[in-house]
Amino acid sequence: MKLTFQKDALLNGINIVLKAVSSKTTMSILGCILIDASGSEIKLTGNDMELGIETKIEGNILERGKIALDAKIFSEIIRKLSSPDAEIRIETDDALNTVISSENSVFKIQGRDSEEFSYLPYIEREHSITLSQFTLREIIRQTLFSISPNDSNKMMTGELFEVHGNELKVVSLDGHRISIRKIILKENYDDVKVIVPGKTLSEISKILNGDNESEVELFLSQNHILFAFDQTIVVSRLIEGEYFRINQMLSGDYETKFTVNKKEFLDCIERATILIRENDKKPLILNILDHSMELKLNSSFGSMNAEIPIHKTGKDIMIGFNPKFLIDALRVIDDEEIDLHMMNPKSPCFIRDEDQSYIYLILPVNFNAASV
């Protein structure tokens, strides 16, 4: 195999597929990138058996072939080679010896037989769900923060993607909060529910260009989901099982509703967290009155009191929250003003817009009212 590339094109492709290369594995082939130039195009592939990414890159095929190279060594070599527009040449022989050269640098490394590499599973591409790259990246940004970081409950490490007619609903939760985003699709589709691993969505959001004009297609099989966009395909295993019955947790009832400027509210909470260290579980107390909201926080480092104007209907209420959960939700909402709905100090708070295109449910925390 003999190939030539511009450094930028090759490095960009490597950075894309590296997201699916296993860093901790007993199978060394899973730590490799496959270079496939056996046809008329050059493709790079990474696959850790849960997540696989394949991307096409520009280059010249002087002799066809394919080989698997250790991803860490290969990526470091290309990254350290001279100027961004330098030409890089990769040659392999029958013994899988690989020479990577550019300008005054020549590296010789040992490749692996491409037949050892696990190819991406085949997914039928008859029916797809289409949306813009911008929309998909925004949906992920606005929900991914509330998945669970550990595997104690597998369902909580993924997100529900539910299609009904022309509506896509994406849901995540971690036991303390729920994030829901709904968008209207351009077409009607058959009903479908799948649970996509959070790791997959996190890596995809880093690759998407975020362009509103560029589209991404989603293809589903019984066990996998495939995302196709630009010159890249991403295939991921789905999480098996029945997702939580979210509708039973959502309520339209409330006894207190107030509207507040989002930026003012967020800035105030972020100022309060200056007094909190990582393992400090001090609640932020909201005292909702007729025309204002008092914010109070006490920690071992000091205390903060603030007041911001609101428009309220219903009862006064004093309620406590983990300030991080409020911050996470407020940061991803783009509206200038937001509505919060509450029933009582022990019931969830709902942040939602009129169309319910987004819903954020946050459970309150207990606090000693006498110490406030």
Q: What pLDDT score was predicted for residue 311?
A: 97
Contact 362, 284 (CB under 8 A): no
Q: pLDDT at residue 275 above 90? A: no
Beta bridge partners of 97: 110
List pLDDT tens digits, range 171-212: 999 999 999 999 999 999 999 999 999 999 999 999 998 788
Which whole number is the average pLDDT over 292-297? 96
Tokens of 89: 């040449």
List pLDDT tens digits, range 64-95: 999 999 999 999 999 998 788 889 999 999 99
Which whole number is the average pLDDT over 97-103? 94
Look at residue 356 and give its three-state secondary structure: coil
* DSSP 8-state assignment for residue 250: -
Top mean-pLDDT range of 78-87, 231-240, 280-289: 231-240
Kindly list the structural domains of the chain, giving each domain's residue range(s) and its CATH number in brackets, ordered by start. Answer: 2-116 (3.10.150.10), 128-248 (3.10.150.10), 250-371 (3.10.150.10)
Tokens of 289: 């009155």
What is the separation of C-alpha 214 from the centre of its chain, rounded to a whole number of angstroms? 18
Burial class from Cβ neighbours inside 10 Å (0-12, 13-18, 19+) for residue 252 reads: exposed
What is the separation of C-alpha 125 from the centre of its chain, rounded to a whole number of angstroms? 24
Q: What pLDDT score was predicted for residue 276?
A: 83
Tokens of 233: 């395909």
Which whole number is the average pLDDT over 128-147? 96
Q: What pLDDT score was predicted for residue 371?
A: 55
Nearest partner of 213 among 135, 125, 129, 127, judged by Cα: 135
Which pTM was predicted? Answer: 0.92
State which amino acid sits at residue 75.
S
Contact 185, 176 (CB under 8 A): no
Q: What pLDDT score was predicted for residue 370?
A: 47
